[in-house]
């Protein structure tokens, strides 16, 4: 998979070279490239924003650098439909990012993430991007961040770990919270008694059927208690 990220703070993404996603990049499973939006400016101050038409607080990102960046990263219009990228703009006004979103996006060949500051990007950029590929506005949840960078870090990690070969043991993918719509069951390791606290005895019983049933019950109970909204879905 190819992932391009465009940001005015490219060093935010240094952390993505660590750990599993770092290894995926060195083995060639993932081609992740982070770009500085200012590389597509042409004025002396490398300007990426300007005041909003109609007035109001804050600044709006200018369309020209975004247009040039997307043209270059998407290839020219008229390219084969299969090669068209999915262009994702993190936005608190977008659809909410879920595990199902991560699964869907992990199937794509080429993702482009455009990080805006939250006052926004000139609306015409989204229209223009739609001529190059599918455009998605995606939110991390119902709270406000200063910009899209942290949201894109989270999305790239959630998507990247679903690419075959990125997580060494694929079985560890299926028992996570949200993979089956429930929260995960509690885990324990040695010692069996720690500060007078015992591991639930059933986990030491060797009865695999009973353990599986207990874990399922724990998943349901936790989900009911902490996230009843998941059970309605």
Site string for ligand 6GU, 117-136 (x = CB under 6 A): -x------------------
Q: Which residue, judged by CB position, is nearest to ligand 6GU in the bound state?
A: 90
Beta carbon nearer to ligand 6GU, 15 or 170 = 15
* Residue with Cβ nearer ligand 6GU (64 or 119): 119
What span, in angstroms and rounded, lies between the C-alpha atoms of 57 and 51? 8
- With CB under 6 A as the contact rule, the residue among 5, 140, 156, 182 that binds ligand 6GU is 140
Pick between residue 58 and residue 77 the one whose CB is nearest to ligand 6GU.
Answer: 58
Question: Rounded to 10 degrees, what is the CA torsion of 185, 186, 188, 193?
Answer: -130
Query: Which pair of structure tokens corresponds to residue 229?
Result: 């909204």
Binder of ligand 6GU out of 148, 153, 162, 223 (CB under 6 A)? 148
Nearer to ligand 6GU, 138 or 182 (CB): 138
CB of 162 to ligand 6GU, least distance (A): 19
Q: How far is the CB of 4 from ligand 6GU (least distance, A)?
A: 17
Q: Looking only at residues 35 through 94 of this chain, which bind ligand 6GU when binding is defined by CB under 6 A?
A: 90-92
Closest separation in Å from C-beta 138 to ligand 6GU: 6
Among 52, 63, 75, 147, binds ligand 6GU (CB under 6 A): 147
Secondary structure string (H, E, C) spanning the chain? CEEEEEECCHHHHHHHHCHHHHHHHHCCCCEEEEEEHHHHCCCCCCCCEECCCCCCCCCEECHHHHHHHHHHHHCCCCCCHHHCCEEEEEEEEEEECCHHHHHHHCCCCEEEEECCECCCECCHHHHHHCCCCEEEEEECCCCCCCECHHHHHHHHHHHHCCCCCCCCCCHHHHCCCCCCCCCCCCCCCCCCEECCEECCHHHHCCCHHHHHHHHHHHHHHHHHHHCHHHHHC
Give the count of alpha carbons within 13 A of 8, CB side only.
16
Cβ proximity to ligand 6GU: between 24 and 88 the closer is 88
- Closest approach, Cβ 61 to ligand 6GU, in A, equals 12
**Shortest distance in whole angstroms from residue 12 CB to ligand 6GU:** 13
> Which residues between 90 and 119 bind ligand 6GU (CB under 6 A)?
90-92, 118
Residues that bind ligand 6GU in the complex, under the rule CB under 6 A: 90-92, 118, 139-141, 143-145, 147-148, 151
């Amino acid at each position: 998979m190819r992932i391009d990220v465009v940001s005015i703070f490219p060093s935010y993404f240094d952390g993505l070279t660590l750990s599993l996603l770092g290894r995926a990049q060195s083995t060639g499973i993932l081609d992740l490239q982070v770009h500085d939006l200012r590389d597509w400016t042409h004025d002396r101050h490398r300007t990426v924003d300007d005041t909003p038409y109609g007035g109001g607080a804050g600044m709006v990102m200018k369309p020209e650098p975004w247009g040039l960046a997307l043209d270059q990263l998407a290839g020219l219009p008229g390219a084969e439909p299969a090669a068209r990228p999915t262009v994702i703009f993190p936005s608190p006004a977008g659809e909410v990012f879920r595990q199902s979103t991560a699964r869907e996006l992990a199937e794509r060949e080429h993702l482009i993430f455009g990080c805006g500051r939250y006052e926004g990007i000139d609306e015409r950029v989204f229209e223009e991007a739609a001529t190059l590929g599918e455009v998605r506005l995606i939110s991390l949840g119902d709270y406000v961040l200063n910009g899209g960078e942290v949201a894109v870090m989270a999305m790239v990690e959630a998507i990247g770990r679903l690419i075959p070969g990125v997580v060494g043991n694929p079985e560890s993918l299926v028992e996570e919270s949200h993979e089956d719509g429930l929260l995960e069951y509690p885990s324990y390791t040695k010692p069996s008694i720690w500060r007078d606290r015992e591991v639930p005895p059933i986990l030491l019983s060797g009865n695999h059927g009973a353990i599986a049933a207990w874990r399922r019950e724990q998943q349901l109970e936790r989900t009911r208690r902490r996230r009843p909204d998941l059970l309605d879905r």
